[in-house]
Amino acid sequence: MKNTIFILKEGTPKYKQIYEQFKSFIERGDILPDNPLPSIRQLADSLQVSRNTTLMAYEQLVAEGYIRGEGRKGYFVNELEPVLFQNTVIPPHKKHKETVTPVQIDFRAGSVDQTNFPLEIWRRISNKVLTLRESFRYGEPFGEVCLREQIAAYLFQSRGVKTEPDAIIIGSSTQQMLIHLGQILKDEFTGIIIEDPGYDGAMEAFRFHRFTIETLPVYETGANFSKLEKLRSRLIYVTPSHQSPLGVSMSIQQRQLLIHWAKNKNGFIIEDDYDSEFRYTQQPFPALASIDSTRVIYLGNFSKSFLPGIRLSYMVLPQLVLNRYKNQFLHFESTSSLLSQLTMAKFMEEGEWNRHIKRMRLVYKRKMQCLVSELKEHFKQSTSIIGEQSGLYVLVKVHLNRSEEWLIERASIYGVKVYPTSIYFIKNHPGEAIIKLGFSNLTCDEIQRGVKLLKEAWGC
Amino acid sequence: MKNTIFILKEGTPKYKQIYEQFKSFIERGDILPDNPLPSIRQLADSLQVSRNTTLMAYEQLVAEGYIRGEGRKGYFVNELEPVLFQNTVIPPHKKHKETVTPVQIDFRAGSVDQTNFPLEIWRRISNKVLTLRESFRYGEPFGEVCLREQIAAYLFQSRGVKTEPDAIIIGSSTQQMLIHLGQILKDEFTGIIIEDPGYDGAMEAFRFHRFTIETLPVYETGANFSKLEKLRSRLIYVTPSHQSPLGVSMSIQQRQLLIHWAKNKNGFIIEDDYDSEFRYTQQPFPALASIDSTRVIYLGNFSKSFLPGIRLSYMVLPQLVLNRYKNQFLHFESTSSLLSQLTMAKFMEEGEWNRHIKRMRLVYKRKMQCLVSELKEHFKQSTSIIGEQSGLYVLVKVHLNRSEEWLIERASIYGVKVYPTSIYFIKNHPGEAIIKLGFSNLTCDEIQRGVKLLKEAWGC
């Protein structure tokens, strides 16, 4: 394959562009028969797209006979009938239609339920906010006081976290807050411990500041804390309520051990409590920050529990960190919408937030039950379900001796979009493929159809 | 003065808390008569409040006789009549009322006009956006395509900047974008040149990455470009359309010189075109990015022209920087609200944006004329006005041999809030005090009253 350049445009699906580009390379003879294509992973990395995207492009090329997969060896160009490609420039309107099955069911974990969104109430409040004089100015650098007051009250009531509004900082996303945090911690702490597997977005934020990264292995049964003493960092990022992505909760003994460790080391724990609202089988465990607030930096957000697109997050800082934070960021404008902050504050003040969370817990519990029972019924012994007690997705370990890529690819042929988990693992991958299925914006009917299609796709 | 600790709470005005605290120190004898207080500047820095805040607190203490100002020597504690303070704990309901004049006219530059805000149209569109399925997911990391398309079209039409939507990155504020930019530039560029005086928020963002900072002196007549060759950095941050804060525009010769410099040095120009929409006397000069797009990073935002609290900004990156940017930030979530992005895209698509800008240009032009004619009428030779051709504020050089602090303090006693400019200067301050007067959210009547009060306050 020559040094070919891909230019991916916005607007058209990327996999389609990759597919078209390869098709024209092959048709023009830029890539000759029996030559290998870049691997799914190489191509995804070099084009900065997901592996799922390159996989979909290759799958389409396979389906149309341009290339063939040879198992672990990769993909190779097929010999083409020359007559078919005499006219390489086909007028656009004569081009044959896309034959990739359109996505029917998308098990995406990043959306929220639309049907139960409190549309009218939110509209009423945000329409009102637009008439206030205070909506026409710049916001407070650390977030609006009225929202911080509401969050402080909510955290005390729901997570046992005692805090002053003054110790709360409003941000626009967990990653943005981690970048700011990293800035004030990086001089004292050169390294950080993260969970393996763990939230990839957090790792990226720590890489932003070039922290040395150490990993704490986590399993379905929980983290292996005996490893902690062997690590050098005094800073750790964890997801204690609902480990991301394995779903396990930290026991109270583990929580205490972790706090003891941080105190001993003069370190800090960054507790990301990203979706603690949705626990279906038990009461939520207390937040680390409720046990000891001096060594815990607590992060929360409205993305899972309300709306990801609203871009509202917050953190509670221990005094030591708070002073440094305010000193560093006093002259920085807030990154989160003033209008959204004022609307959310009023929404919480009116009690609508608590009502919304209660309602959504039931809605998501029903969906979770539906997904789990469908999976158990259709897959029986061929899959194990991980993390059904809480959150807005489950992981499915597939005992079919198939790769993650194969499972995603096969699903996509059947019109079902499922998600990889390998991106969350650093060096602790168990070997067997694990697929992520989100359900928040699917109906029970869609979940049922999706699982049935998956069964067909995976042939089990 | 002993080692006293101030704890400033949210909710109550800070100057009031500082005032109360000092009062109780003095009453309790923690600070003895004739002892000096920290300077306005020292106290502001250590408490992380504005100098205006500490000034207001001291002014109140002076007014009530607790302390006295001794010109350049600073503030000193007065001898108190012991009998007055036998009972240091006064029941709250018996405390005498605040005597500081409340703010009647606030010449703040960071607000926008509320009366002419297209409330109904914005509501209609944002209410519609809330019903779309796409509003319930996470947004695109580099911003929504629909908004980037609208911005590309707008930039071409209004600023002559030719760009693909793909080269546009949506962010939540200029500072947030500068932090991201700094991350991908800091390995190649260790230093940056900024304007002196210049936008303090940009300087803070460059300090975030510990860039070495060099300054280019700017005067009312423009920047001194002959200094450029003596500086070592190959990266420069400028505000060519409307220099912040002096208001002068860069001539086409200077623009070409700057681009030539960047090309020669293999450097980049960061062009912050923050309020180019509001130019009253001439057509706007072309953006640097319209002359040469390979060496110019163009920044724009919706804060001045629409609403600061919406937190929507954007930048146009040259190819070299774009690739690095996408590589670095592919795995970072957008910090700007998806809902605001979708609403703004539709607002622009419907032509409402252009209508809004046209209307606001007239509204602000009228307000600017009103402010300038009032200042000329009342102050005659005692002030010079800087920057009346464009933007949402003017600077007023006050020829009264008074300090900036004195002018702000005196104004506040008369219920007028005016703003300092010393925060924008690094080492190029002309000596004479310069006051900043914003007018965007004041009516002509309020502007008239404000100027009259200023005349009384400053005694000229």
Range with lowest mean pLDDT among A8-12, A321-325, B114-118, B341-345: A8-12
Chain A residues closer than 8 Å to B165 by CB: 10-11
* Residue B41 banded pLDDT, cuts 50, 70, 90: confident
* Closest Cβ–Cβ partner in B108, B123, B336 for A130: B123
The answer to whether the beta carbons of residues A109 and A393 sit under 8 Å apart is: yes
Residues 6+ positions from B13 with CB-CB distance below 8 Å? none
Count of other CB atoms within 10 angstroms of residue B230: 7
B338 touches chain A (CB under 8 A): yes
The answer to whether the beta carbons of residues B261 and B292 sit under 8 Å apart is: no
The answer to whether the beta carbons of residues B163 and B318 sit under 8 Å apart is: no
Q: Which residue of A has its CA nearest to B307?
A: A136
Superfamily of domain A105-114+355-458 in CATH is Aspartate Aminotransferase, domain 1 (3.90.1150.10)
Q: Give Cα A124 to chain centroid, integer Å.
A: 31
DSSP letter assigned to residue B283:
P
How confident is chain A (460 residues) per 10-residue block, as mean pLDDT? Answer: 57 75 78 84 81 77 74 79 38 42 90 95 96 94 97 95 96 97 96 97 96 97 94 97 94 93 97 93 85 96 95 96 94 96 98 96 97 96 94 96 96 97 94 96 97 95
DSSP letter assigned to residue A93:
G
Q: Which ipTM was obtained for this model?
A: 0.78
Task: Give this prediction's pTM.
Answer: 0.79
Beta bridge pairs of residue A299:
A272, A315
* Closest Cβ–Cβ partner in A11, A130, A176 for B335: A176
Name which of B206, B339, B443 to mutate to probe chain A: the one with the most chain A Cβ atoms within 10 A of its Cβ. Answer: B339
Give the model's pLDDT for residue A80.
67
Q: Which residue of B has its CA nearest to A183?
A: B208
- Summarize pLDDT for B253-266 with one digit per residue, the tens: 999 999 999 999 99
- Summarize pLDDT for B207-265 with one digit per residue, the tens: 999 999 999 999 999 999 999 999 999 999 999 999 999 999 999 899 999 999 999 99
> What is the residue type of A113?
D
B173 touches chain A (CB under 8 A): yes
CA distance A448 to chain B (A): 21
Give the model's pLDDT for residue A300.
97
A333 touches chain B (CB under 8 A): yes
In chain B, list all ranges with CATH 3.40.640.10.
119-352
A360 touches chain B (CB under 8 A): no
Q: Which residue of B has its CA nearest to A128?
A: B123
Q: Where are the beta strands (DSSP E) in A35-82?
A: 67-69, 75-77
Over residues B150-163, mean pLDDT: 95
A253 touches chain B (CB under 8 A): no
DSSP letter assigned to residue A59:
H
Chain A residues closer than 8 Å to B336 by CB: 172, 311, 335, 337
CA distance A29 to chain B (A): 28
In chain A, list all ranges with CATH 3.90.1150.10.
105-114+355-458
B127 touches chain A (CB under 8 A): yes
B204 touches chain A (CB under 8 A): yes
B311 touches chain A (CB under 8 A): yes
B179 touches chain A (CB under 8 A): yes
Give the model's pLDDT for residue B7.
65
Q: Do B166 and A10 touch (CB under 8 A)?
A: yes
Give the model's pLDDT for residue B323.
94
Q: Do A326 and B48 touch (CB under 8 A)?
A: yes
Q: Choose among B245, B271, B248: nearest CA to B259.
A: B271
Chain B residues closer than 8 Å to A173 by CB: 333-335
Chain B residues closer than 8 Å to A138 by CB: 110-111, 303, 308-309
Domain over A14-85 is classified CATH 2.60.40.10? no
B119-352 folds as Aspartate Aminotransferase; domain 2 (3.40.640)
Count of residues making up chain A: 460
A159 touches chain B (CB under 8 A): no
Q: Do A138 and B303 touch (CB under 8 A)?
A: yes
Chain A residues closer than 8 Å to B340 by CB: 337, 339-340
* Residue B98 banded pLDDT, cuts 50, 70, 90: very low
- Summarize pLDDT for B20-35 with one digit per residue, the tens: 788 777 877 778 888 8
Give the model's pLDDT for residue B96.
43
The answer to whether the beta carbons of residues A371 and A417 sit under 8 Å apart is: no
In chain A, list all ranges with CATH 1.10.10.10.
14-85
